[in-house]
Structure 1
């Protein structure tokens, strides 16, 4: 998985994950770290395989690994992390020589990954579903305060 390996080695990817970690060190809710991104990638690729979808493993992993890179910018300035993540992904994908068409597809999936109604692509729909499926709500001590699961609503346990 050439693209995935180059993303993981890219200094902007590593820097953004470090900034996310620093910004979330006191956070009681879900974290947006490498483990979360890797979990999303694995679940997303399982979905691709189960549904026999035409998405390459490397593209699915790349999209999932990049999807929350902009979280630190959201904490810092209030900017939408999905849009900021898409921008950061565009820089990284350009630096490693990913074809523009593929880069734009990945950026679109990242830009629209937060809400079900925003999906403009299959890649985006799988990213959305896998991101939600990877929330560790079952064991969360802060679930009652979580904005994602208002009182009376069960957390997602499967996709």
Structure 2
């Protein structure tokens, strides 16, 4: 997890995270903060363990902590947050010592984290599901106004 620790200490990561928090300070729907990133990481990790997949913990956590960071560019520049996040992730991951093959897995997962059409046991499919399961729809104050269809809202805890 040493490389993962470098991500959260990376100057670009810290600046982008601060900018994202400022841009979302009045957001009434689910936010993109450390609580969300940790939930996605932990749920993804549990799912990977349950399926006995060989995906290192630091890759799971790195992907989770980077997957929504492109939202700052989405708000400011109007580009999709998955594309912006993939560009940002590539830069940060390279600086933090991840190999080209590892970066490809993580960047591809970030690009697909909103709409994945992969086999069920792929990292991208697991990550997609974990991202959705991380939301606490049960206790959300904006549940009635949320744009998620009722059938997609989490009505019970699985992880």
TM-score above 0.5: yes
**Unpaired segments ≥5 residues, structure 2:** none
2:151 aligns with 153
Runs of 4+ in 1 over 4 A off after TM superposition: none
2:23 aligns with 23
1:90 aligns with 90
Aligned length: 156
2:56 aligns with 56
**Unpaired segments ≥5 residues, structure 1:** none
Deviations 1:89-145 (A, max 9, x none): 00001112211111111000001100133x488221121111000011111121122
Q: How does 1:9-48 map to 2 (within 5 A)?
A: 9-48=9-48
- Distance of 1:5 and 1:47 partners within structure 2: 22
Question: Once structures 1 and 2 are overlaid, which stretch shifts more, 105-114 or 135-144?
Answer: 135-144
1:136 aligns with 136
Answering whether residue 22 of structure 2 is matched by residue 7 of structure 1, we say no
* RMSD, aligned α-carbons: 1.6
2:67 aligns with 67
TM-score w.r.t. length of structure 1: 0.91
Task: Give secondary structure in 2 for the equivalent of 1:44.
Answer: helix
- Distance of 2:27 and 2:21 partners within structure 1: 10
Alignment check: 8 A CA contact 1:48 1:55 kept: yes
- Distance of 2:38 and 2:105 partners within structure 1: 19
Answering whether residue 79 of structure 2 is matched by residue 79 of structure 1, we say yes
- Distance of 1:154 and 1:84 partners within structure 2: 25
Instruction: Give 1:153 shift.
Output: 2.6
Instruction: Give 1:154 shift.
Output: 5.3
1:101 aligns with 101
Alignment check: 8 A CA contact 1:70 1:81 kept: yes
Task: Give secondary structure in 2 for the equivalent of 1:61.
Answer: helix
- Distance of 2:12 and 2:34 partners within structure 1: 13
